[in-house]
Structure formats: structure tokens, C-alpha cells
Structure 1
Amino acid sequence: MPDFGLDITPRPDLPAVVARWQREISETELHDGYFAILAAADALGCWRWLLDLRRREELATPALTYWMNHDFFPRLVGRYPAPVRIAFLASPLRAQQQASDSSVATISAKSRIEQGYLTALFTDEAAAYQWLAE
């Protein structure tokens, strides 16, 4: 089974799906990884996700932003009983870097509850779990 450079751990005790990228990945692996996260979340009926980006470089491209906004995020609308809460976990340095239109910092600032999701960027894992539990 392909791993897309990604370790996905269901955490029914939280409840959350925790996905940690373990290496540098291609844009195709990123797409496949997001669909693997979605499949794991569907299996648990879980709308709380922690995505750990600390071992992965930023894949900031206009094409990726378009894909997230026009292909992936629209799949979340009405999928679960509550909007999907996506906590992006990044290193402090990465979180401080200048945000481009396609950076995780920018994507995480564009939560759209009416479109089925809320996002936030964290540098502290405990704070991310606390936000997911809200």
C-alpha cells in the first residue's frame, strides 16, 4: 500500500485523524496523501484532523492552491455532522515565513465554515489538539 510519505494515525480517543508527512513529497503525492487522509477520516466518521507539516517543505504553487480550493475542499461540504477542523502543525520558522497565496499559512487563514471546513496554523501540538477539541 503506498504511503505518499505520510503516516496516518487514527486517534479515536481525541477523536482525531493525525497525519504526519515523513519526508519531502511531490505534488502528486500530496494530492494522494490528502485523499488517504480523507479515506481515514471517512472510516472513523471524524472531522478533526491534525496535519503535521514539520518534515515536509512548502509546496507553494498556484496549481496547488487551485486544487485545494476547487477540488479538495469542496469535497468536505456536508460530509460530516460538523465542519472539518484542520489543524496545520508547522515549525516556528515556517510559520513566520512570508505567506504567499498558496502557502499553508494563507490557506489556514481562509477558513470557510459555509464551505465545510475550518483551518488554523499551529507551532505547538498541544494547542492544536486543544483547538481541535472545541
Structure 2
Amino acid sequence: MSAFVSATDTFTIAYDAQRELLRACWLQPLADEELQATLLELLTAAQRYANCRYWLLDARRRPIAGPALRRWARQVLHPQLYPALGGPVFVAFVVTPGQWPAIENVAMDQHLRAAAAEEVFPNYFEDEPTALNWLRDQQKHD
């Protein structure tokens, strides 16, 4: 059963107690500053729910992070996650086929390596069941 943590016209967060993960969904494209606020809201929600380190993020209605947001994540968000939540964070993004060009490139590869160095492990999927299976596998091996 999911408990809604936060819901607005642009972004929702729910805690899925059965799967022990946070679910979030962007309902429309947002400016980088607004995306930053939603990501910090996710961190707050994770702390509220037993330092939840497994996140299922539906990004199908927003663009993939560009250089400025990736830089902010590396400099501001990622360094906070491990200390705040007490372990590595696993993030499954659900995306559309049209978003893959923004994911499969050298700049994103460099971002993902930098994230891993901070114990943040994002991964991208085109469907929720596959994303949930990956998160479940991470939970088993954590």
C-alpha cells in the first residue's frame, strides 16, 4: 500500500511500504530550479520513511537532466544522500523511448560514473515492471 507523501499539480511522491521504496512522478516539464526543489523534497521524504534508499522516479513527462541540473546534482544533491540516508541510493528512472538520446551519450556516462563515486546509482528503464525488478535486485544484494 502506498502512502502519499506529497502531491501538487506538477509532482507527486508516495511511499510504497510493501516494496519499501519511494515513488515519484513529474506531471509536467519543470525549470531546473523547480526540479532541484523536487529532488530535495525526495531526500526529505526518504529521511521520513526509514531513510528509504530505493526510488522509482517516473520521468516520462519531463526532459532528462541537462548539464546544469547534472552539475547541481553532483555538487549539491549526491554528496548529501549517502550521509543522510546511511547507505547507497538506487534510483530507477522510467523514461520514454524518445528520451534515450539524452541518456546514451558521453556526458551522461561521465555523470553516472561521478554519481557512483558518491554511492548514487541511477538506472533508466522504459517500463515500470523492469524498473521495479532492478530495484528489488538491489534490495536483495544490499
Matched, 1:26 2:31: yes
Q: How many residues align?
A: 130
Q: CA deviation at 1:22?
A: 0.2
User: 2 CA distance for matches of 1:3 and 1:27?
Assistant: 17
Highest RCO, 1 vs 2 (Cα 8 Å, sep ≥ 6): 1
Who is 1:49 aligned against? Answer: 55
State the 1:77 CA deviation. 2.1
Given that 1:77 and 1:116 are in contact with CA atoms closer than 8 Å, whether structure 2 keeps it comes out as: yes
Q: SS at the partner of 1:78? A: helix
Which segments of 5 or more consecutive residues in structure 2 lack a partner in the other structure? 1-5, 138-142
Matched, 1:117 2:120: yes
The two structures have a TM-score, normalised by structure 2, of: 0.79
Q: How far apart, CA to CA, are the structure 1 residues paired with 2:16 and 2:73?
A: 24
CA spacing shift, 1:58–1:117, aligned 2, 3 Å: closer
- The worse-fitting range, judged by mean Cα deviation, of 4-13 and 41-50 is 4-13
Name the one with the larger helix percent.
Answer: 2
Compute the displacement of 1:111 (Å): 4.7
Counterpart code for 2:70: T
Identity %: 25
Given the two structures, how large is their TM-score scaled by the length of structure 1?
0.83
Q: Secondary structure at the match of 2:84?
A: coil
Question: Which of 111, 130, 133 is the aligned partner of 2:133?
Answer: 130
